[in-house]
Structure 1
Amino acid sequence: MEAVIFDLDGVLVDSERTWDEVRRAVVAEHGGTWLPESTRALQGMSTPEWARYLVEKLGTRLTPGEAATLVVKRMAARYAEKPPLIEGGVEVVRAVADRWPVAIASSSPPLLIKGYLDVTGLPVAVAVSSEQVGAGKPAPDVYLRAAELLDVPAADCAAVEDSTNGLKSAMAAGMAVYAVPNPHFPPDPEVLKEVTAVVDGITALPAALGTA
């Protein structure tokens, strides 16, 4: 292993519920209908993808661009108040970065990734949003791009993920995948069977990687 690539939402920031709350509110306010499968379906989508989903699948009476702008604006306001950092996450990234180059490969827009990094000051070598690549998770694009920018073969990277689509994305990229299951939106048990290791909380990651 030559590098470690972290997902952001659900791994380092407890934001999956916030995304869910904000998107649900926007859909409800603008005439759409939330579906039982929408929460899981949206996890890992890039901003253009989930904005189209809110409009085309859920019937939100906005353009995809308007939906994206409104949701991201509300998320940025939440982050400005105080990013919902997962306890121990910052310390874990610092510990891992002492040994390997570290990257973030996230479905969050660049604005929110930057907000997180500005608040934490973490030594992250590369940060990639799925907005900046061809497709969101479960496609492997964002992980492959992060590995490319690190100048490390994807097969020599470890990925840290929490959601079904995120785990599928990292596995499709050919990486060793460490699952930190999201307690609020647990990943598919069948997908968990395929990962390199399942970690009981982010603070247990260094031991799983062999740094503790």
Structure 2
Amino acid sequence: MTTTTHDLLDWAPEAVVFDCDGTLMDSERHWQEARNRAFREYGLQPPPAFAERAKGLHYEDCGRLMARSVHKPELTEDLTAAVLDHFLALVTDDPVTMPGASRLVRLLSERLPLAVASNCPRVVVEGSLERAGLRARFQHIVVPDPGDGVRPKPYPDVYTVAARLCGVRPHRALAVEDSLTGVEAARRAGLRVVGVGPRPQGDGAARADLWLPALHAPELLIWAQSLDSSEPTPEP
């Protein structure tokens, strides 16, 4: 059940967990270009509306989807490797934060423990945040790790682990996401969710408690500043 805008922004979480790509870092465009380059590398064309289908997926899931969408399952490993290689080159050359990311992270890090829960490889997340001057603001970074049984979004694992590392129960933490894949993962983990960015088509965005156009939305910044004097709300 979704809360109203007033209800969510009247609530004081005990930790905030951010997605990285497309939420903190303006790197979703790099993923899209990396997918396009990988397709072209193998003489293929992206299917219609593929970018929306791939948004938020772990790169290995994306590679499988790419191969399946063009009926070339034998290219799964090649396309997966190509899309990651192209992305790493693009994000290294052009790391840019999303509008409002630095200010919101700074405000919240002075008040609450923060973590990142991302489908990207750790080297990408840490490198991007370091170059953006945000790495020190986050106590924990959680990414998929098959060795530890941490599965990628839309499984809830990265959010479950992030909340635990922050020392809070999932329902006392807030997730900040830009994709329906990420929203689903956070909801399944038990976190409340703010979606940011262009509102997805269809009714999937209703899975978030609140959807705002950007991290610098005035109501979000006012809420973050108000946490100075907020007391955590009682356990339900």
On whether the aligned pair clears a TM of 0.5, the verdict is yes
Aligned residue number for residue 156 of structure 2: 140
Deviations 1:84-139 (CA, angstroms, capped at 9, x unpaired): 22132122111111111111111222121011122133211111123555433222
SS in 2 for 1:107: coil
How do residues 143-154 of structure 1 correspond to structure 2 at under 5 angstroms? 143-154=159-170
Aligned residue number for residue 110 of structure 2: 98
Aligned residue number for residue 207 of structure 1: 222
1:198 aligns with 2:214: no
1:10 aligned residue (18, 22, 25)? 22
SS in 1 for 2:141: strand
User: Using the alignment, how far apart are the partners of 2:101 and 2:40 within structure 1?
Assistant: 33
Instruction: Kindly provide the amino acid, as one letter, of the partner of residue 207 in structure 1.
Output: I
Q: Contact (CA 8 Å) 1:33, 1:59: kept in 2 or not?
A: no
Q: Contact (CA 8 Å) 1:199, 1:208: kept in 2 or not?
A: no
How do residues 16-165 of structure 1 correspond to structure 2 at under 5 angstroms? 16-59=28-71, 63-122=75-134, 123-130=137-144, 134-165=150-181
- Deviation at 1:189? 4.5
Q: Contact (CA 8 Å) 2:59, 2:83: kept in 1 or not?
A: no
Q: Give ranges in structure 1 of 5+ residues lacking alignment.
A: none
Q: TM-score, normalised by structure 1?
A: 0.86
Aligned residue number for residue 167 of structure 1: 183
SS in 2 for 1:193: helix
- Segment of structure 1 superposing worse, 170-179 or 53-62: 53-62
Q: Contact (CA 8 Å) 1:11, 1:86: kept in 2 or not?
A: yes
Larger Rg: 2
User: Using the alignment, how far apart are the partners of 1:188 and 1:93 within structure 2?
Assistant: 27
Classify 1:195/1:38 alpha carbon distance in 2 versus 1 (closer, same or farther; 3 Å): same
**Count of equivalent residues:** 209
- Deviation at 1:62? 6.6
Classify 1:155/1:167 alpha carbon distance in 2 versus 1 (closer, same or farther; 3 Å): same
User: Using the alignment, how far apart are the partners of 1:28 and 1:82 within structure 2?
Assistant: 21
- Deviation at 1:193? 2.7
Q: Contact (CA 8 Å) 1:47, 1:131: kept in 2 or not?
A: no
User: Using the alignment, how far apart are the partners of 2:59 and 2:101 within structure 1?
Assistant: 24
Moved over 6 A (4+): none
Q: Contact (CA 8 Å) 1:20, 1:39: kept in 2 or not?
A: yes
Deviations 1:42-91 (CA, angstroms, capped at 9, x unpaired): 12222221122222333458744433332222222222223022132122
User: Using the alignment, how far apart are the partners of 1:14 and 1:180 within structure 2?
Assistant: 12
Equivalent pairs: percent with the same residue?
A: 30
Q: TM-score, normalised by structure 2?
A: 0.78
RMSD after superposition = 2.3
SS in 1 for 2:216: helix
- Deviation at 1:154? 0.9
User: Using the alignment, how far apart are the partners of 2:73 and 2:40 within structure 1?
Assistant: 10
Aligned residue number for residue 187 of structure 1: 200
